Structure 1
Amino acid sequence: MSEHIEVDLGTRTYIVSVGAGLLADDAPWSALRACRHLLVVTDDNVGPLYLPALQAFVPDHQLPVVTIPAGETSKTLDQCTRVFEALAAMRAGRDAGIIALGGGVIGDLAGFAAACWMRGIGFVQVPTTLLAMVDSSVGGKTGVNLPFGKNLVGAFHQPEAVIADIDTLATLPARERAAGLAEVVKYGAIGDAAFFAWLEDHAGALVVGDREALVHAIATSVRHKAAIVARDERESGERALLNFGHTFGHAIETATGYRRYLHGEAVAIGMVQAARLSERLGLAPRGDGDRMAALLERLGLPVHPPAGLDAMQLLDLMRLDKKALSSGMRFVVWHGIGKAELRADIDDAEVLAVLEA
């Protein structure tokens, strides 16, 4: 039970493999055969679970490991420096490679280190969270956070392959699985009404981790993202639609110190706020926003921001968002289920009204 999706960038392609038992399958690891040195970057939750499997199926290499503390607060330049120090200790050249074993934090940080080391070495994404499988592992956006905001330091650096073994989701807490489903809902919300309806019909199966439903949801999401990345690798246009809800969500994450919400939880809240903003602007019917909020709640996700956040602070954080232009903020606005567009003409007063509500 596996699917293989090609990400075609014109000058090169890579394969996203989605299915069960992939860590024990030789084929997806072929992208690493040319690497003279390999380094694994993981966290202290994931490493003990899956490092033995990696060692067994990359038998021609000794696998030094950099293990960072789990969580968004570890996605920093200081932790990235630890990766650089490990590469230096290995005397790693441009024929070295990095295996990013973990969730989105590990993929972003390890990918950024790969982009920077000797101006770019290969890396393979081995996502172990649902959110990373459907979103951050595909498309080559890498980076780390600063105290001023999320992902402000980063680079576009595509992986050599993505190996999404759904067996790793068996050890994922229910809250983490739900957080990943927020990004799955996003793909239906912005571009595929039929997939959105499928999610409504299969929400219960996804919540309990049904394998067939998960493979379909992950593979469908990856196909949507692969198609958009192929058309707009550097996020100069259409790819920005994938940030639906993220401008609000990133501000909430930053304001709460990356400790209160998982990324997908903040995105779920942000998508509902983006829908409410679109309703205020007369672009989307309220019924569709209610429908999306209902689906997110069925999947175990929050849809309301926490009480006590300062609306002006959130607005200031949104102005620093990396999607902003010198002329002002850009938002992915919604025209109802399956339709979205990028706009840069949204009045701050309208945004503030949503934040205050």
Structure 2
Amino acid sequence: MNETVLKPGVECVDIALGERSYQIRIGSGLIGTDSSFDDLAVGQSALIVSNETVAPLYLKRLEAALGTLHSRVQNVVLPDGEAHKHWATLNQIFDKLLERQCDRKTVLYALGGGVVGDMTGFAAACYMRGVPFVQVPTTLLAQVDSSVGGKTGINHPLGKNMIGAFYQPLRVICDLDTLSTLPARELSAGMAEVIKYGPIADMTFFEWIEANIGDLMARDAKALALAVKRSCEIKAWVVGQDERESGLRAILNFGHTFGHAIEAGMGYGSWLHGEAVGCGMVMAGRLSHSLGLIDQEFLRRLESLIGKAGLPVVAPVLDARDNVGRYMDLMHVDKKAEGGAIRFVVIDGPGRARLQAVPDDLVAEVITRSCATP
């Protein structure tokens, strides 16, 4: 890792992946600071990818910082939202790269939330078979989860994130100031990905979140900084051991199997990703309880914390005629499904998790119990 002098108050988390290692930098005022980027091996050309919501807030600031590093800084502004995470939007990035005759040393900068980060990373992985990119996440969810670890991709009508690549960024820049402009719903969505780290890996962190959920939801700067750093540390530890999700990394998908079914079944963008994951964690917690892996008291604590974060705890009905069947069909397309069996991340006791196949009748019972009445 390059040695560099960082501005006071900047925290760093290293992702140890050999020659693909990189650093997450966490602090305030980082987007407009050229020192956030100046020790990267970069080319003459840069393309900032953002969206219609984020660009008016931060695009000029990032352009100014990058102007001292690149002779050409261009941008493409995409429509905002999960509903636009598909081929047509991805092609807008490729169109700009080709129109501007960008070479293979062009650096892409993803300025936005998880959708922008996932699509920019996928474009970087594909353009000229791979160009460098930097993650500049502006939502809590992206800072604590999607910007870290190199998962990139787009959605398909039949399944979320089913088309993509593992492709690591050069760096992740988490500017905590961006969290002050997040809508309340987006803040709650990000808290789902913060909360998940406790039950699967760190009960001390879970207990800290329980004690500080009020400050977190009130956007206390110190509380958010700690939450972002600890979440990144846990994800860095997991990704460093299992970059391509062949085993351990799957635990990061706690709540996501149910959650992805909710997103696909309702139509992408109806619920935010974090809202679906929050509800999915309630369902996965109930599944873990049905398997005898956690007691009723821990399940109550988990559901209470998810509710205090402003996340839904009642699952939606996806099909009034055959709701269980609809959920099961969608979950069979999940990336963790294997040999026709749906596999779930379950809590193997507080602070531990594992991936396992679960009998359909138990899954059906959890779906029925968790869903609102049609």
Range class of TM-score, shorter chain: over 0.9
TM-superposed CA distance for 1:31, in Å, is: 5.3
* Native 8 Å contact 1:333 1:340 kept in 2: yes
1:16 aligns with 2:24: yes
The answer for the alignment partner of 2:336 in structure 1 is 323
Counterpart Cα distance in 2 of 1:34 and 1:308:
47
Match of 1:349 among 361, 365, 368: 361
- Percent identity between the two aligned chains: 49
* Native 8 Å contact 1:269 1:302 kept in 2: yes
Counterpart Cα distance in 2 of 1:317 and 1:307:
13
TM-superposed CA distance for 1:136, in Å, is: 0.2
Q: What pairs up with 1:1-357 in 2 under 5 angstroms?
A: 1-30=9-38, 32-59=40-67, 60-307=70-317, 309=319, 310-344=323-357, 346-357=358-369
Between stretches 249-258 and 58-67, larger displacement belongs to 58-67
What is the TM-score when the length of structure 1 is the normalising length? 0.97
Counterpart Cα distance in 1 of 2:318 and 2:359:
23
Q: Which amino acid aligns with 2:342?
A: M
Number of positions where the alignment pairs a residue of Structure 1 with one of Structure 2: 356
Counterpart Cα distance in 1 of 2:249 and 2:74:
35
1:156-190 Cα shifts (integer Å, max 9, x gaps) = 00000000101011110111011101100001111
Counterpart Cα distance in 1 of 2:302 and 2:200:
11
Q: Which amino acid aligns with 1:348?
A: D
Counterpart Cα distance in 2 of 1:308 and 1:43:
29
1:180-211 Cα shifts (integer Å, max 9, x gaps) = 01100001111100000000111011001011
- Dislocated runs of 4+, deviation >3 Å: none
* Native 8 Å contact 2:263 2:273 kept in 1: yes
Counterpart Cα distance in 2 of 1:67 and 1:34:
22
Counterpart Cα distance in 1 of 2:230 and 2:121:
24
* Native 8 Å contact 1:31 1:161 kept in 2: no
Counterpart Cα distance in 1 of 2:34 and 2:79:
29
Between stretches 132-141 and 10-19, larger displacement belongs to 10-19
Counterpart Cα distance in 2 of 1:53 and 1:197:
37
Q: Which amino acid aligns with 1:316?
A: D
1:99-124 Cα shifts (integer Å, max 9, x gaps) = 00000000001100000011111100
* Native 8 Å contact 2:259 2:280 kept in 1: yes
Q: Which amino acid aligns with 1:101?
A: L
1:47-71 Cα shifts (integer Å, max 9, x gaps) = 0110110111111333221111110
In structure 2, do the counterparts of structure 1 residues 316 and 307 end up closer, same or farther at CA, with 3 Å as the change threshold? closer
1:124-159 Cα shifts (integer Å, max 9, x gaps) = 000000000000000000000011110010000000
Between stretches 70-79 and 86-95, larger displacement belongs to 86-95
Between stretches 4-13 and 262-271, larger displacement belongs to 4-13
Q: Which amino acid aligns with 1:246?
A: H
1:40-92 Cα shifts (integer Å, max 9, x gaps) = 11110000110110111111333221111110011101111111111111211
Q: Which amino acid aligns with 2:363?
A: V
Counterpart Cα distance in 2 of 1:133 and 1:116:
23
* Native 8 Å contact 1:108 1:136 kept in 2: yes
Counterpart Cα distance in 1 of 2:175 and 2:19:
27
Q: Which amino acid aligns with 2:170?
A: E
Q: What SS does the corresponding residue of 1:338 show, helix, strand or coil?
A: coil
In structure 2, do the counterparts of structure 1 residues 78 and 308 end up closer, same or farther at CA, with 3 Å as the change threshold? closer
Q: Which amino acid aligns with 1:355?
A: I
Between stretches 258-267 and 135-144, larger displacement belongs to 258-267
Structure 1: segments with no counterpart, 5+ residues: none
What is the TM-score when the length of structure 2 is the normalising length? 0.93
Counterpart Cα distance in 1 of 2:135 and 2:40:
11
Counterpart Cα distance in 2 of 1:243 and 1:308:
21
TM-superposed CA distance for 1:261, in Å, is: 1.0
Counterpart Cα distance in 1 of 2:250 and 2:57:
35
* Native 8 Å contact 1:196 1:337 kept in 2: no
* Native 8 Å contact 1:55 1:63 kept in 2: yes
In structure 2, do the counterparts of structure 1 residues 308 and 157 end up closer, same or farther at CA, with 3 Å as the change threshold? closer
CA RMSD of aligned residues (A): 1.2
TM-superposed CA distance for 1:327, in Å, is: 4.4
Q: What SS does the corresponding residue of 1:24 show, helix, strand or coil?
A: coil
Counterpart Cα distance in 1 of 2:273 and 2:126:
25
Structure 2: segments with no counterpart, 5+ residues: 1-8, 370-374
Counterpart Cα distance in 1 of 2:188 and 2:61:
26
